[in-house]
Structure 1
Amino acid sequence: MNRAEKAALQLRAVDVLCMLKETRTYDELAKRTDLPAGDLNRYVNGHVLPGTERARTVVEDVGREALVIELEARIRVDEDGYVDNSGAVFDQPFLDLVAPVVADAFDFGRPDVVLTAATDGITLASALASYYGTRCAYAKKRKETAVEEFVEARERLESGIELTYYLPASAIDEGDSVLIVDDLIRSGETQELLLDIVDTAGGETAGVFALIAAGTDGIERARARTDAPVGSLTSV
């Protein structure tokens, strides 16, 4: 790990600790992290950065569990089973914290492109693309007027409705590694269309990730289409 990577890890750990501190005392935070309350005070207030090993523990272990708990607190499911995750996808600072934890936990590797479908997945894709330092692209259900060439994927759903997504052909180059992300995976139909787009563009799938999995159908459908890692941060 070079100095820049070490500093980035330490700063991510401080961000996680600051988030946890919003709803905890330092004594409670000490019990949660197994770190001294005095040290935590200095980290949160910016007086000193945690060492590399402490930072890694906070990000990879404490951070993931804490973010799952925070995400679940932001999810609302109505009596018909519809998921309202606006409390998460509208909060860019929260998603910026999610990105490094997801990258560490799922071992996607560094993609060339982070791909999602408009619109709710865009904020998550933006956070992950920013973390990886790579391009962000999103497919739409209509063509952009000024774009001449598109990659498209079409599927007839069980309801009989035909769903089509379009992506500017320049968004993915042949051989690009592409991480597919979305805020929610339910049936897996959207993810399957995005996988089709990656294949048509000549890219390689680095992984499929969703913040929330509603049931297991979508995850299983994606896993049947690719050998790349597939997962979600939490499920309902």
Structure 2
Amino acid sequence: MNRAEKAALQLQAVDVLRTLKETRTYDELAAETGLPAGDLNRYVNGHVLPGVERAKDVVGGVGREMLAEELAARIQLDRDGYVDNSQVVFDQALLDLVAPVAAEAFAFERPDVVLTAATDGITLAAAMASHFGATVAYAKKSKETAVEEFIESRQRLESGIELTYYLPARAIDTGDTVLVVDDLIRSGETQELLLDIAERAGAEVGGVFALIGVGDEGMRRAEQRVDAPVGALTRLE
């Protein structure tokens, strides 16, 4: 980790602590993090930055737990099992905080491209790409008029519906490392289409990440497909 990366991590830890402090006293925050209240006060108020190892613990540990709780509180699940996550995917500030936490918690390799499916995954993909300094690409269910060459992936779903995604061929280069992200993973069908696109492009998959994992099927299918970290920040049964 170079100096710039260390500084970025330390600042991300401060962002996490400031977010936590909005709804907690310093004593409560100290109890949750295991850090002295006096140190927390200095971090939150910008007087000093936490050390690198302490910053890692905050971002990858406490930050992950805090964001998982926040996501769970914002998600609504109806009686038919449909998930309303609009309070999450429309909040770019929250997603900007998710990116460094997910990167630290799941140890994703720095990607060249963050790949998602239009539309709900776009805001998360933008946050992840910004964090890593990567480009963002999103596959659509229809071809863009001005684009001549596409990478195409097609799959017949269990329901009998045939789903096809298209990505402009220039979006991913051969040898690129691709991080596949989405707002939600349930059956894993969308993620398999995105992984197929990455493979057709000759790219290496550096991981699969979702904000919300519903059940185990999608996560299991992704884990069987790639030799890279697979994770979701919060899980629903």
Assess, with a 3 A threshold, how the Cα gap between structure 1 residues 51 and 76 changes in structure 2: closer, same or farther.
Answer: same
What is the alpha-carbon distance in structure 2 between the residues aligned to residue 189 and residue 223 of structure 1? 13
Q: Distance between the aligned counterparts of 1:230 and 1:68, measured in 2?
A: 16
Q: Which amino acid aligns with 2:98?
A: V
SS in 2 for 1:10: helix
**Residues 32-47 of structure 1: pairs in structure 2 closer than 5 A:** 32-47=32-47
How much does 1:173 deviate? 0.5
Q: Secondary structure at the residue paired with 1:152?
A: strand
Q: Give distance in 1, aligned partners of 2:72 and 2:29.
A: 19
User: Which residue of structure 1 lines up, in the alignment, with residue 183 of structure 2?
Assistant: 183
* Alpha carbons 2:56, 2:104 under 8 Å: kept: no
**1:98-117 alignment to 2 at 5 Å?**
98-117=98-117
Does the alignment pair 1:4 with 2:4?
yes
User: What is the one-letter code of the residue matched to 1:175?
Assistant: G
Question: What's the TM-score, normalizing by structure 2?
Answer: 0.96
Which stretches of structure 1, 4 residues or longer, exceed 4 Å deviation after superposition? none
Size of the aligned set, in residue pairs, is 236
Partner in structure 1 of residue 81 of structure 2 = 81
SS of the residue 2:197 aligns to:
helix
Q: CA separation of 1:51/1:223 partners in 2, compared to 1, >3 Å: closer, same or farther?
A: closer
Q: Give the direction of change, closer, same or farther, for the CA distance of 1:97–1:227 in structure 2 (3 Å limit).
A: same
Task: Call closer, same or farther: CA 1:205–1:2 in 2, change over 3 Å.
Answer: closer
* Aligned residue number for residue 200 of structure 1: 200
Aligned identity (percent) is 75
Q: CA deviation at 1:118?
A: 0.3
Deviation digits for residues 175-202 of structure 1 (CA, Å, limit 9, x no counterpart): 1111100000011110111111111111
> Equivalent residue of 1:159, what SS?
coil
2-structure distance, mates of 1:150, 1:158: 25
Instruction: Quote how far apart the aligned CAs of 1:51 are.
Output: 2.3
Letter in 2 for 1:135: T
Secondary structure at the counterpart of residue 95 of structure 1? helix
> C-alpha displacement at 1:47, in angstroms?
2.3
Q: Structure 1 residue 163 and structure 2 residue 155: aligned?
A: no
Aligned partner of 1:16 in structure 2 is 16
Secondary structure, in 3 states, of the residue corresponding to 1:64? helix
CA distance in 1, matches of 2:123, 2:39: 33
Unaligned runs of 5+ residues in structure 1 are: none
Q: Distance in 2 between matches of 1:215 and 1:57?
A: 28
Query: Separation in 1 of the partners of 2:199 and 2:146?
Result: 24
Supply the distance in 2 between the matched residues of 1:52 and 1:174 (Cα, whole angstroms): 35
Residue number in structure 1 paired with 2:230: 230
Report matched runs for 1:114-193 at 5 Å. Answer: 114-193=114-193
Asked if the contact 2:114–2:179 (Cα under 8 Å) also holds between the matched residues in 1, the reply is yes
Aligned-pair distance for 1:44? 1.3
Equivalent-residue separation in structure 2 for 1:60 and 1:26 (angstroms): 20
Deviation (angstroms), 1:115:
0.2
Q: Which amino acid aligns with 2:78?
A: D
Q: Residues 75 and 84 of structure 2 are in contact (CA less than 8 Å); yes or no, is this contact kept in structure 1?
A: yes
After alignment, is 23-32 or 46-55 more displaced?
46-55
- SS in structure 2 opposite 1:142? coil
1:228 deviates by 2.0
Distance 1:229 1:5 in 2: 21
